Structure 1
Amino acid sequence: MTAYASASSSAYALEDEAWWVQRWVELLNTYRFKKRLERGRIYAREGHILSLEYKGSKVTALVQGTAEEPYKLSIWLDAFSDEDWNYVIDSLSEQAIYSAQLLAGEMPAEIEAVFTANGLSLYPFNLSEVHSKCSCPDPKNPCKHIAAVYYQLGDFFREDPFVLFQLRGRSRDSILDALRQRRQSTATSTEVLTTDTELAIQPESGKVTSQVDLQHFWAYAEPLDSELVVITPAETTVLDVLGKIPLPPEDAPAVMGHLKEIYQTVAQQAMMQALG
């Protein structure tokens, strides 16, 4: 569980966390009734949340309260319409860097601007836009059980930032599939246009003659646009290819685990450098 340190008597802060986790905690810090959130934070730290998962566009959880049976609760945001998502995906497809980062499991730092440009807000402006329901008898909302899940969601977002997309009505896979389709459609249209331009049919002979300069076909004098290069993590790593390390059985797992950590760190740094 993420440790949420108290920055002051009235606010909470996260250190060294991804920006999307920080944005969520900043949202919590805007809530007026700090004591209610504080009780929820303690509940989360003490392990009262028995389960937490998202189903469709809702987060569902079981939280153990004072009663024998755990309380059932759900949290959700207003999902965007299909039309809204189509506008967003069109905007995302115009910048190849977004596709590259999303495919790499990274949430682009500028992605909120894409939603804003389409009249939408990826993150809610305040907690009143976060809908919730709990089976406990407390009439106030958020109750301490809901507040506990609010904080636990910080962990959820850290492990999978695309949960926020899910809460807005689209899964990560559906977004990436739509982006691929947009880019393939664009590539196909460009290919057809190029073919129509470069091939001329001679009516007399019925032959097709190519106007492509074959001698210089592979020559390209201009520098490549970095945004056109899509980088994705390799499914098979060097460690997978090398196989088992020839070390004593009691030492091999620790060494392999250490090498995997180093490889993951180097791979992430290389990808971030490549993405600029």
Structure 2
Amino acid sequence: QVQGTQAEPYQVELWLDTFTEEEWGYVIETLSQQAIFSAKLLAGEMPYNIEDVFAKNGLRLFPFNLDEVHSRCSCPDPANPCKHIGAVYYMLGDRFSEDPFVLFQLRGRLKEEIIAKLRHIRGSGEVKKDSKTSQVSPSIKGYQPPVVSGYWQYNQQLESSLVVISPPPGSETVLDVLGPIPLGTTATAADVVMQYLDTIYKNVSDRAVLMGLNRESEG
């Protein structure tokens, strides 16, 4: 609803063409094939080159012109877009800046649905590697299987866009999750210890973030 000069607000509708179940299936499968896309989406971030995934499947997530955006308004102005539709465009622009996943919803899928499907695919081992990312078959001469003892070691430089260093999203710490410490003494003593540990924990957390950011800037 958009309030104009009249007493009653005008009814504005705005929508994009949604993708079919099959088209979304292709898109999500393509997203699951590259760790960078899955990592960012599972972390609640929109990859900057997300449009490449849709283009690979013959689709476009972002509308490139007004012909791809459908709208109508109940006002008497014959122009489309009218000023009321234009006002919604501005508000949508701000909304996209706050939450770019709204575009997924306009195309027919909620962010939660896409993330759940990605988790299912990557967790169940259904990821299909394309020709560029497929691993060497064990039957090829010279293939060396991974060493179990070095599973947690990684000596190569990580892709910078894959590493995101940021402060914790909330103020809750592991101490809040664990609850009160059963000291077996007075409640006051337990509170003092918890407050002291909480101060240490937050200082260490802040220091770790600063060290990480410094290393990132140096790299």
Which range, TM-score by smaller chain? 0.5 to 0.7
Q: 1:135 to 1:170 in 2, by over 3 A?
A: same
CA pair 223-102 structure 1, distance change in 2 beyond 3 A: same
Which residues in structure 2 correspond to 1:6-25 (within 5 Å)?
none
Counterpart among 57, 65, 71 of residue 10 in structure 2: 71
Q: Could you tell me which of 150, 158, 162 is aligned with 1:219? A: 150
The aligned residue for residue 48 of structure 1 is none
In the TM superposition, residue 168 of structure 1 has moved relative to its aligned partner by: 0.5
Q: Please give the alpha-carbon distance, in whole angstroms, between the structure 2 residues aligned to 1:146 and 1:218.
A: 61
Alignment-derived partner of residue 30 in structure 1: none
Residue 100 of structure 2: which of 142, 156, 161 is its match?
A: 161
Structure-2-length-normalised TM-score: 0.63
The percentage of aligned residue pairs carrying the same residue is 54
Which of the numbers 95, 108, 112 marks the counterpart of 1:173? 112
Q: Give the partner amino acid of 1:174.
A: E
Deviations 1:96-151 (A, max 9, x none): 11122112222101110010010001111200110011111112111100001101
Q: CA deviation at 1:240?
A: 8.0
SS in 1 for 2:86: helix
What is the root-mean-square deviation of aligned Cα atoms in Å? 3.6
* Structure 1 segments unaligned to the other structure (5+ residues): 1-61, 190-215, 243-258
Q: Could you tell me which residue of structure 2 aligns to residue 84 of structure 1?
A: 23
- Report the count of equivalent residues: 165
Alignment of 1:134-213 (within 5 A): 134-186=73-125
State the distance in 2 between where 1:78 and 1:133 align. Answer: 15
Q: CA deviation at 1:70?
A: 0.7
Q: Name stretches of at least 5 consecutive residues in structure 2 with no aligned partner.
A: 129-146, 177-201
Distance 1:232 1:115, change over 3 A: farther
Cα distance in structure 1, aligned partners of 2:150 and 2:97: 45
Secondary structure of the residue aligned to 1:108 is coil
Which aligned runs of 4 or more in structure 1 are off by greater than 4 angstroms? 224-227, 229-242
Q: Is the 8 A contact 2:121 2:127 kept in 1?
A: no
